[in-house]
Every structure is written in structure tokens, then in C-alpha cells.
A and B are shown apart, each in its own frame.
Chain A
Amino acid sequence: MTASAILIQFLNGLSGASSLFLVAAGLSIVFGVTRIVNFAHGSFFMLGLYVAYSLIDRFGHGAAGFWGGVALAAVAVALLGALVEVLLLRRIYAAPELLQLLATFALVLVIQDFTLWAWGPEDLLGPRAPGLSGAVNIAGHQFPQYDLFLIVLGPTVLLALNFLLKRTRWGTLVRAATEDREMAGALGVNQKWLFTTVFALGALLAGAGGAFQIPREPASLYLDLSVIADAFVVVVVGGLGSIPGAFLAALLIAEIKAFCIGIGDVTIADSVISLPKFTLVVEFVVMAVVLVLRPWGLLGRRLTPPRRVGAVERPLALPSRRAVYALAACGAALALLPTLATGYSLILLTDIFVFALFAVSLHFIMGPGGMPSFGHAAYFGLGAYGAGLLLHRGGLPMELALLLGPLVAGVGALAFGWFCVRLSGVYFAMLTLAFAQITWSIAFQWDSMTGGSNGVIGVWPAPWLASRTSYYFLALVTSAGGITLLWRMFYSPFGYALRAGRDSPLRADAIGIDVRRQQWAAFVIAGLFAGVAGALYVFSKGSISPDSLAVPRSIDGLVMVLLGGVQTLTGPVWGAALFTWLQDAAARNVEYWRAVIGLVIIALVLAFPQGLAGFLRDRFAGERHAP
């Protein structure tokens, strides 16, 4: 690269950093105060862009129309944010942790379909910014004026936020709440009002982030999810709740990306490494490295562990004899089903069995382990790829591939888990996500082994298992067996130690438990069983592609666990059944099926904050406690 090329790529990085920072800052503030992992933040960004497009279209492309449209769009999104907080989130602050995550995920689905309905399917490319539509000559290169504006905008917003947080009474309250929620409550802060305004500010920043992108990218329907991942990475790398940290992280990531692209291909020892291709996953690699070296991000501080704000989990009572019989009867009924039904119900149930095992394996670390993984699909996918490739490339018989595939997931969990269990809470979750994305990108890029983005096809079960009915039985037996084993572990000494480590790491350590080791072991067990689910999955589909270890699969797992009830035993199974069935039924019967699923989830979250199984337990078991 020439010196002038370096300069220009550096400036590109700066303007990219500003864009990233705008979205991330809002997310960081919201998380700092409310501890909500807001999946809908990317949707707010997308709405900001769409609304700005429409407003500018209406007001005209002049300066007033453009800047007025941008400002109004941000305000509109802020109002929507406030509305969401008041109508939805406020009602579930007392629910188990992470339930808000489920609610915001449902919002993502609703907003996706709303946007499609309101603006149609085509990308909408807005106008250039009036007055900033051209380029200036910098070191012999044409550099967009608007990018210069963005370069200034980022630090300006940083300073403004800094002023707001450090110099105003409201900011003092926000900082107090970020440090210690209860203390802020004790100071007489009107928490409701504070949360609403904070959420509105977060949405305002997201909306503005979107609106300011008008001259740079079209409004399109993919933006929500692609932005939210980036924003989370920036927030976590910077350190949760730290605005300057978010700025630093945005700068770091944007510059690394710009220079990966700028440097291009590099030849090391006769092999060509394409750095531009590395941008597929670079932010997640940065996140993994930063979290391994600095467990609380660049400028973050150790979080005061959220002192069980929500409902405290009840002791996990051994299922009563009646419950065991009922579960056994369910199993028996499922085993007899093929005599009554054939065809599609068996196929849907096979999927449900696979996802139930996946959800229970996630619940194993999330519930008793207190480790909410955002990247559990990695182990599902590793099991699937392991089994599929052992058959496809290794030439192993299918039965053997099914047995050995999960070990690949186990090995992955062993390696990644070692790093992950050193962290806790959202940092843990984000490191699992980073590893999952890295795994995904390897499957995506390693064409000669994994078949790249297309994946591998032709991985079908052995002939004796090929019929729908026999595969149904295989899935039923494997999944029921796996779930029984995992549930048994909940009540084993190992399970006690795991819960002990979650409830009080200090006490657990003080009675001789090596908490990290225990968590690591649990992580590997969960990975292994997720791998079993993945291996079952691959042979039921006959093919495998990177989708099986991508973020949506991880989110599906979270949704299943939370929907069923993270603080219950059987909840994740019901959650998996309901969610899989709901996706299938909604997609079959309505056009806007994502919105329908979102609305159903919101209704369920509001009606049963303890999850389905939690609701049933409360309703029918009364206040019964452990024996």
C-alpha cells in the first residue's frame, strides 16, 4: 500500500467507526442501566433508515427535507422505543433473567414483517446528502464529503453523550443505575421514568444511526440482524456500559476491516491468504481475542453481578412419581404413534425430537449452570458436520458416523469451553457467540472440506433407517435417551455442584468445588449432547450447510428454553415442541408468519413470564417445595 492509500483506508475506517459507534452507543447505555440484551436494537436502526427514506421522499431532497427527515426519523424511533418499554418491557422486569431477551427477539420478528408490509420487498436507496454529495481530493484520491461529515459526527456524539452523562442530573442517575441498580433505587430515583427515558435514548441513537446511513446504503430488510451482531460486538469489546469503550472498539474494528480490505492478498510461505475474505468474521475474532485477554472488554469494569433482581429460582424438586409416569406415558404414546399416523406428523416430530434434545442440552448449562450460551449452535453444527463428513469424506458407515460425530462437538466444546468458563454473564454469552461465528466461518470458507456455503449433500441414513418411520424411532430413542440422561444429571451430585457454582461461586469454592472445572465439564457435556442432536439432524435432512451452526439456530435454542421456562425441568422440551410447531403451522397458514410468531411469543411472555412449564407448575403444583 502506498502512503496515500494507507491514509485513505484510515479515513474509511474512521467513517465506518462513526457509523458503528452510533448504533453501539445506544445499545451500551440501555444495557448498562436496564441490563436488557436488546435484540430489537438492530430493528430500530433499520426502522430509522426506512422512516428517514420515506420522510425525505415526502419532504424533498433539499437540505431542509434531508436533515429534517433524518432528525424526525430518529425522534420517531425514539418514541417507538419508549412505547416498547412502557407497554412491553416494563411488565417483565421481575421475570427471570434473559426473558426480556425473548421479548425483544419477538419484536425483531414483528418489526421485520411490519417493514416488509409497509415498505415492500425492494431495496430503497436514498438520495445523497445535499451539500455533501460529492467528493474532496485528499492526497490524489476522491474522498466522499459525507464520510468526512461522519468522521466528525462520531466523536461529536461521543462528546455529547459524555456531557449528558457527566454533567446533567439525569446522567448522574444513569451512571448510578449503571453502577448499582439498587443503590439508585435507594437514592429515590424514579426507576420507571429513568428506564423509559434511557430506552428512548437508546432507540433514538439507533434510529439516528440508521437515518444517517441514508446516503451510504439502501434501506433493506436484512439490516436489523446484520447490524445487531456488529453492535453487540462493539459494545462487548468496548466493555458493557462504557461509551468511550464502545467508541474505541468501533474504531478498532472498523480500522482492522478497512486495512484487511486495503492490504488485500498476502503471500506467506507460498500460500495466499486473502485478508478481504477475513472480514467475514474479523469482528468476532477481535471479540474473542479481547475477551480472552480482558474479560470485561477494553474499558469495561467488572459488573456488579445482577443481584437476582427477578424471581429467585425455586429448588428443583425431583419429579413426583406421577410426573415420571406421565412423562413415560408421553414417551410410550410417541412410540406407538407410527401405528396410527404416517407421513408428515412423523417428520415434524422427528424435528421436534432433535430440537428438544438441543434445547435441553442448552438448558443444562443455562439453567443449573447459569451460563447462557449465545453460540450453542456451534456444537449442534459441529456434531452435524462431524457426522456428515465422517460419512461423506471419511467413508464411515452411517451408524458409526452418527456415534462419532458428536465427539467432534465434544472436542470443540472442550477447546472453546476452556476460555468461555473464565467469563460470566453477557461476556460469557458473547464469547460463546464469537466462537460459534468463528466455527461458522470456517465451515463457510473451507470449501474443500465442508463444501463451503453450499455445504455437503447426500448424507442419508443407512438403508434400514432410511424410512420415515424407522428414522422416527431412531430420533425418538436417541433424543429421549439423551434428555433422560441430562435430566438425571440435574439431580446428580454433579448437578448439585453445578447449581452450587451458579448460586454462589464463593461458597462453592469454600466447600472444595472447583467451579470453573465444573462449568467446563458441564459445557463439554452440553456440547456433546448438542452434537448428538446435530448428528441426528444431518441424517434426517440428508444434507448439511453452514446454516446449522449460524446465529439463528443459537437464537432458536434460546427461544425454546426461555419459552418453556428456564427455571423448570421439562420446560425446554415444551418450548422446543411449541416453537417448532408454531414455525411450521404459522408458515403454512399465514403470509406474515414471522409477525404471528413474534406476537404469539409476546403474548406468552406477558402471560407466562415463568415460561410454559413454569406456569403449569405454579398453576397445578401450588407452593409445593422439594421433598
Chain B
Amino acid sequence: MNVPILKVAHLSKSYGGVRAVANVSFEVVSGERLAIIGPNGAGKTTCFNMLNGQLAPDQGKVEFEGRDIAGLKPRQVWRLGVGRTFQITETFGSMTVRENVQTALLSRHRRLRSLLTLAARAYANEADALLARVGVLDLAARACAVLAYGDLKRVELAIALANRPRLLLMDEPTAGMSPRERGELMRLTSELARRESIAVLFTEHDMDVVFNHAERILVLNQGELIADGRPTEVRVDPRVREVYLGNRFADA
């Protein structure tokens, strides 16, 4: 349980002289749920995108299960066992929910070059099992383009799980959802993380979600890591209170 699967060391990124992320280091252990928070422009997204491969860091190391993944492309990062969901859902709208998951499964088994076999039956059972796990099996034959937002988030989760990830990166997982849906999605995520010991690293604006579902919280401000600890510790950290939480949180 205490083996770190992700080690981030001295991660930095600048845009035209402005340091978006400066010398950030942290570790994530297997099965842990970790939130990254911070005010707008704190560098959360930049930091996130350096972990999932969308951005290459200027400096620093990102080690996943002992392997440096900094600068790898998203598709390579994914192959190593890092799944992700997007802030605004990204699914294949013209394909059915089942086909979405099947595509991910086919990719995992490196069968997407196959030109003349029929994909419809490939990994259909496995896909359905994943859909059942996230609770959208009844929608399997619907096109993603016609799904409700909350359901899409679940489909994304199923797609992310298709590669049996050890680490799940979720960018603002509950953005755009109703409070009820937020709770449900995060409960589902926590449960999956626990059951399959998947580490979950997520950014989030909603403090209820953060404090209810994260085991550890990282706080970024102006690209620097200013706090790293359990919710109870972060809650009382004077620096965090000063730059970000302010009095809003004192009442909670």
C-alpha cells in the first residue's frame, strides 16, 4: 500500500518567461486518492498535462512505476497504465457506448491495425462488464452523442478503466454536474480505487468533493507547491488559508 507508483520531482514549465509550474515534487502511492487544488492560474492544469503527456516539462522528472514518463506522448503514457478523464468529456460521439469501450479494449490488446475482422464482437463481454461496473450497461447501445452529461462521465471512466490502469488522472471530474451526480460519481470512483487499488489523482474546484473524497491534498499557488498533506492538515495550514481558502473554508 505504501509503494509510490508516481514520483514527481522538480517539475517546471514556463511560458514565455512566466513560470507556470515551478519545482514541484510529490509522490502518489498505490490506491491513494489525491487532489490537486489551487486558485485559477495556479498551474494545476499545466501540472496535470505534464503528467498525462500532453505537455513536455522544461525540467524535472515524472516517474511512473520506476519509469521516466516525462515527455512521452499521451498514448504512450496510457499504455504504461495511466488512465485519464477530461474536464469536458471526450468520447466518440458517433459510436455507441459499448463501441467506445471496445475501442479502448482493442487498443489495449493492440488489435486496432486489424483491417478485415469484425470489431462488433471483439471484447464485447469485457466491455459490458466495464459498463456494468460504472453503472451504464443499460445505455450500451446508445450513441455517446445523445447521452446525458453525467452518463458520459461514467462512460469516460469505463474507457479509462479498460486498460486496467494503476493510476487514474481526472481533470475536474465533476465540472458541469449537479451536486447529486457529483456525489455519485465520486463515490463510484472512490469505490473502484479502493477495490482495485488504483491511485486517483484529480484536480477539482468543488471543496466539498475535495474534502469528502481525497485522502491527500496538494495545494498549488503561482506554480509552486505550498502544501501537501491530509485534508485535516491542509484545512488548518495558514499559508493555504491565506492564498486560497480564506475565510470561506473556516466556516465549513
Binding site for B on A (CB under 8 A): 308, 312-316, 318, 485, 488-489, 491-497, 499-500, 502-504, 506-514, 518, 521, 525, 625-627
Q: Are B94 and A312 in contact (CB under 8 A)?
A: yes
Q: Are B95 and A493 in contact (CB under 8 A)?
A: no
- For the complex with contacts A488-B116, A494-B114, 13 further pairs of A-B residues with Cβ separation under 8 Å are A315-B95, A316-B94, A489-B115, A489-B116, A492-B114, A493-B117, A496-B103, A500-B92, A503-B93, A510-B74, A511-B107, A518-B112, A625-B143
Q: Tell me how far the C-beta of B90 lies from the nearest C-beta in chain A, rounded to whole angstroms.
A: 4
Identify which of residues 96-134 in chain B touch chain A, using a CB-to-CB cut-off of 8 Å.
96, 99, 102-104, 106-108, 111-120, 122
Q: Tell me how far the C-beta of A407 lies from the nearest C-beta in chain B, rounded to whole angstroms.
A: 17
Contacts between chains A and B (CB distance < 8 A), count: 129
Q: Tell me how far the C-beta of A519 lies from the nearest C-beta in chain B, rounded to whole angstroms.
A: 13
Per a CB cutoff under 8 Å, which of B75, B94, B119 touches A315? B94
Q: Are B106 and A493 in contact (CB under 8 A)?
A: yes
Q: Provided the pairs A312-B145, A625-B142 are in contact, do residues A503 and B95 lie with their beta carbons within 8 angstroms?
A: yes
* Cβ of B78 under 8 Å from chain A: yes
Q: Are A308 and B120 in contact (CB under 8 A)?
A: no
Nearest to B88 among chain A residues (CB) is A506
Q: Are B145 and A512 in contact (CB under 8 A)?
A: no
Which residues on A sit within 8 Å (CB–CB) of B142?
625
Binding site for A on B (CB under 8 A): 52, 73-76, 78-79, 84, 86, 90-96, 99, 102-104, 106-108, 111-120, 122, 141-143, 145-146, 159, 162-163
Per a CB cutoff under 8 Å, which of B75, B96, B122, B141 touches A514? B75
Ordered by A's residue number, 29 sampled pairs between the chains whose C-beta atoms are within 8 Å are: A308-B93, A313-B94, A314-B94, A315-B95, A316-B94, A488-B115, A488-B116, A491-B118, A492-B116, A493-B112, A493-B113, A493-B122, A496-B106, A497-B107, A499-B92, A500-B92, A503-B91, A503-B93, A503-B95, A504-B90, A507-B90, A510-B74, A512-B78, A512-B107, A514-B75, A518-B112, A525-B115, A625-B96, A626-B141
Q: Are A496 and B112 in contact (CB under 8 A)?
A: yes
Which residues on B sit within 8 Å (CB–CB) of A502?
94
Which residues on B sit within 8 Å (CB–CB) of A496?
95, 99, 102-103, 106, 112, 119
Q: Are A318 and B120 in contact (CB under 8 A)?
A: yes
Q: Are B106 and A509 in contact (CB under 8 A)?
A: no
Which residues on A sit within 8 Å (CB–CB) of B116?
485, 488-489, 492
Max chain A C-beta neighbours (<10 A), residue from B93, B114, B145:
B93
Which residues on B sit within 8 Å (CB–CB) of A504?
90-93
Q: Are B78 and A511 in contact (CB under 8 A)?
A: yes
Max chain A C-beta neighbours (<10 A), residue from B96, B107, B112:
B112
Which residues on A sit within 8 Å (CB–CB) of B120?
318, 491, 627
Q: Are A491 and B119 in contact (CB under 8 A)?
A: yes
